[in-house]
Amino acid sequence: MIQIESLHKHYGAVHALDGLNMTVEPGVVYGFLGPNGAGKTTTLRILTGLARPTSGRVVVAGVDLTSDGHTLSHRIGYLPEEPAFYPWLTPREYLDMLGRLHGLDAAKRTTRGKELLALVNLGEAGKRRIGGFSHGMRQRLGLAAALVHKPEVLLLDEPVSALDPLGRKEVLELIEHLSGQCTILMSSHILADVERVCNVVGIIARGRMIVQSPREALMDRYAQPVFEAEGEDPAAIKRWADTVRLQSWATAVNLDGDRLRVTVSDVKRARRELLASAVAQEIALRRYEEVRPSLEDVFLQLVEKEAIQ
């Protein structure tokens, strides 16, 4: 549903995209990840037709954007990070207006509006002015607006980044519900959310694709075992961390106050030696455990490796 080939976008001397290649298959929920300045926003602007590439080829839902982008708006839905509304309208009026723009007749607009407001749990707020909505309500309405015309591709730019935990939960549940109904590309910096709802992940850095893979295959390939510990004395934990960094099997040692997180390359040696070193230094531990690596661990590993190349 999305095919990007050798995509370049230059802003003067700045190369926002530098030969990006990317494929999004039909029906997947694709997590689009990258550090700040990696090119995610530029890519989304090109995919929505809001910007044109310097060179390269982009096809979205069968529309080649390098030669014909006029029919794109009928094929895609887009939820920006900060959706904007006419505050004096009600959700029903707003969705009806969008239905008119997409050529739906009156009966279809009414039916579709009711369906979408029920889907995003705004049925009871359908006659209220949007200007009084909370941020979470506006985000859910923005998602409904992106779905008015039943798009083939749904593009989501940081859909939950500014929401409280309850708002995040509601929007993520909506995205999970839409899985399989359309192809979804979700840009986010909250990796736990991507790990929850996305079945394919693409990671970019410096305008290029580092890796794209089904999420579970990515985790199986790159996830290294992780050990976590919390101690009574932050100064003692720091001394222990300095010792652990010298071990050949410790690939990453992260210290946050009294919490130590160690990524290892040889889990058998780490199991034998890590806790033993804490005992040898008489470190008082509140917690010590081997944990399942997260998508965030894999992301940091790959991005840091790319940064030093």
| CATH code, domain with 256 | 3.30.70.920
Selection from 300, 277, 267 nearest residue 229 by Cα: 277
Please list the ranges in the chain whose pLDDT falls under 50.
none
Q: Where are the alpha helices (DSSP H) in 19-104?
A: 40-47, 91-101
Do 42 and 175 reside in the same domain of the chain?
Answer: yes
Number of folded domains that form the chain: 2
Which CATH number does the domain housing residue 127 bear?
Answer: 3.40.50.300
Its domain, for residue 281, covers 224-291
Rg (CA), the chain: 23
Domain boundary among 195, 218, 241: 218
Do 276 and 202 reside in the same domain of the chain?
Answer: no
Q: What is the pLDDT of residue 161?
A: 81
Domain boundary among 193, 218, 243: 218
Spatial distance between the Cα atoms of 108 and 181, rounded to a whole number of angstroms: 19
Do 150 and 183 reside in the same domain of the chain?
Answer: yes
Q: What is the pLDDT of residue 260?
A: 95
pLDDT tens profile 26-66: 999 999 999 988 999 999 999 999 999 999 999 999 999 97
Q: What is the pLDDT of residue 132?
A: 94
Do 167 and 188 reside in the same domain of the chain?
Answer: yes
Q: Look up residue 30 and give its amino acid.
A: Y
pTM: predicted TM-score of the whole model, two decimal places: 0.84
Query: Would 297 be classed as within a structural domain?
Result: no
Do 129 and 253 reside in the same domain of the chain?
Answer: no
Q: Look up residue 140 and give its amino acid.
A: R
Q: What is the pLDDT of residue 286?
A: 95
Do 121 and 143 reside in the same domain of the chain?
Answer: yes
Query: Would 7 be classed as within a structural domain?
Result: yes
Strand-strand pairing, 226-231 and 63-64: unpaired
Query: Would 95 be classed as within a structural domain?
Result: yes
Query: Would 284 be classed as within a structural domain?
Result: yes
Query: Would 183 be classed as within a structural domain?
Result: yes
